[in-house]
Each structure stands twice: as structure tokens, then as C-alpha cells.
């Protein structure tokens, strides 16, 4: 019985090798699509422009380096919390546009609050918790995920970041 299992596994080996090769190509394409620098200003500018196009507004943001497991070596996640306001329809349109941004982005959480119900379509305030990714080829063979550093608040602290540019 053990020999039969081994023969069955050996017969599947060429198919598994082919599948691994296809996955390696997909991983290489994914990594090539990730920018090698954080470029916070581009991400935040794109969110701000998407908010304006939806009729919503972006009031502030918070940026932190994140730790993650199960990512290829060299991939660095960056968490963004973006404070927004607008009607439900405006914020929903903003969320849809964030999902299709030019940068690979995960929407981790959407938190909405109703400050005051003063109409049938009141203004809401909320936070979009996003994760964007960068790829550092120099770190590709290193173990993933360094400990997260303290949160960086708003544009003033980001000006010290070499990737920061005014928008």
C-alpha cells in the first residue's frame, strides 16, 4: 500500500512542478508591480483626488509601518488610516474608487459615525483603514516583517521621509 501511494505521488510530480512554475511567474509579476519606494504622497494624493471626485473630503491621515506574515521576502506593508467625511453615497463612491486605485491596496476596515442626524442624507465621518505594499529587492532574501515603528501623524512627520513630496 505504501508503494502505491509513493507511485501515485511520483506520477503527480510533473503536474505539481508545472503548477509551482506558474505560481512563481505570478509571484514575480506581483512583485514587479509593487513600487520600490513608499511614495506616501502619491497614495494620499490619489485618495484625496478620489474623495474630491466623489464629493467627499479627506481631513487627515495616519501612516504606520506594518508587520505581516505570509508575504514574500522584501514585501513591506504600510498601513494608512484616512479620515474622511461626506454623505453615505459619497463615501461609498470613494470606497469603490479606492478599491480600484493604481496602487495595490487592501481595505481592512471602514468605520463610519453619524455626528448628527439632521437630514435624510446626513454627513457622516469615518476612517478608512488601508494597507498598501512596497517591494525592496535588497530585502527579498531576508526574513519578512521587521517590528512596526511608532505611528506617524499627518504630513509634518512625513516630510522627514525620503519618499515624501508636497502635493
Q: Which residue has the higher pLDDT, 118 or 87?
A: 87
Say what the pLDDT of residue 141 is.
65
Q: What is the mean pLDDT of residues 129-136?
A: 85
More confident call, 110 vs 32: 110
For the cut 90, the answer to whether the pLDDT of residue 73 exceeds it is no
Instruction: Please state the rounded mean pLDDT for residues 70-86.
Output: 88
DSSP collapsed to 3 states, 62-108: EEEECCCCCCCCCEEEEEEEEEEEECHHHHHHHHHHHHCCCCCEEEE
Q: How confident is the model at residue 81 (pLDDT cuts 50, 70, 90)?
A: very high
Q: Which residue has the higher pLDDT, 156 or 9?
A: 9
Q: pLDDT class for 150, splitting at 50, 70, 90? A: very low
Determine contact, residues 60/83, Cβ cutoff 8 Å: yes
Q: How many CB atoms lie within 10 A of CB 38?
A: 20
Amino acid at each position: 500500500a505504501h508503494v502505491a501511494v509513493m507511485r501515485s505521488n511520483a506520477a503527480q510530480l510533473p503536474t505539481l512542478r508545472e503548477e509551482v512554475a506558474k505560481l512563481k511567474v505570478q509571484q514575480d509579476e506581483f512583485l514587479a508591480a509593487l513600487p520600490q519606494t513608499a511614495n506616501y504622497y502619491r497614495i494620499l494624493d490619489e485618495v484625496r483626488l478620489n474623495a474630491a471626485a466623489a464629493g467627499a473630503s479627506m481631513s487627515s491621515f495616519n501612516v504606520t509601518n506594518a508587520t505581516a506574515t505570509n508575504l514574500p521576502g522584501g514585501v513591506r506593508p504600510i498601513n494608512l488610516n484616512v479620515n474622511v467625511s461626506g454623505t453615505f453615497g459619497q463615501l461609498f463612491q470613494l470606497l469603490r474608487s479606492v478599491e480600484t486605485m493604481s496602487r495595490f491596496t487592501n481595505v481592512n476596515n471602514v468605520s463610519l459615525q453619524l455626528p448628527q442626524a439632521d437630514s435624510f442624507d446626513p454627513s457622516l465621518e469615518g476612517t478608512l483603514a488601508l494597507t498598501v505594499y512596497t517591494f525592496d529587492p535588497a530585502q527579498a532574501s531576508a526574513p519578512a516583517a521587521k517590528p512596526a515603528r511608532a505611528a506617524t501623524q499627518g504630513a509634518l512627520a512625513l516630510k522627514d521621509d525620503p519618499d515624501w513630496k508636497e502635493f
